[in-house]
Amino acid sequence: MTTTIKKAAQYQKGDEINGPTRPFSQERIGWYSIGMLSAAMGSLQTIQHNIHTDDAYARSQGLPAAIADGMHSTNWLSAMMADHFGAHYVANGELRTKFIKPTYANIPITARGQITDRMVNANGDIKITLDVWCEDDKGTKLTVGDASVLVTAVLGE
């Protein structure tokens, strides 16, 4: 799917945005787990046995297989917002997510959004609000949430 990215101020209520479709590889899930643990511990850590990195452990916890960390899909939603709204999102964006279904390795995932509101303020700034989600290759929503961005004249198009 090809996505045309508009200038931030051109987005209208009802417009849809998309990120790339890609799978979470088990290797990427492991890297993410190591990175998060290393950041929390303040030093380089090794992979741990948990529901994100170990199929056998995940099954012992009632899951059919290891699952990606929920923040992984949140990061993909944030990247989609940055791709579409650039510095406006980085400087003046918000994102809230809820993980409603597990995300398994090697299943294609797409970040998506739909603009639910667009308000022009008295000073000309534009507040854009969106519903956002990640879905699998069957269209099942796995992560849902909302996002907003303030498009300001100070940051340009």
Q: What is the pLDDT of residue 149?
A: 97
Query: Which tens digit of pLDDT belongs to each residue from 61-86?
Result: 999 988 998 888 999 999 999 999 99
- The CATH fold assigned to 1-24+69-157 is Thiol Ester Dehydrase; Chain A (3.10.129)
Written as six digits, the tokens of 5 are 């990215």
Domain with CATH 3.10.129.10 in the chain: 1-24+69-157
Q: Regarding predicted confidence, which is higher, 9 or 114?
A: 114
Question: What are 140-154's pLDDT values in tens digits?
Answer: 999 999 999 999 876
Kind of pairing between the strands at 16-23 and 108-120:
antiparallel
Q: What is the pLDDT of residues 89-142, one digit of tens each?
A: 999 999 999 999 999 888 999 999 999 999 999 999 999 999 999 999 999 999
At residue 38, the pLDDT reads 74
pLDDT value for 156: 61
Q: Do 42 and 104 meet the contact criterion of CB atoms below 8 Å apart? A: no
**From residue 103, how far is each of 2, 10, 140, 144 by CA, in Å?**
24, 33, 10, 12
pTM, 2 dp: 0.85
pLDDT tens per residue, range 10-54:
999 999 999 999 998 888 877 777 777 777 888 877 777 888 888
Predicted local confidence at residue 8, as pLDDT: 79
DSSP 111: E
pLDDT of residue 2: 42
- Position 5 scores a pLDDT of 58
Three-state DSSP class for residue 84: helix
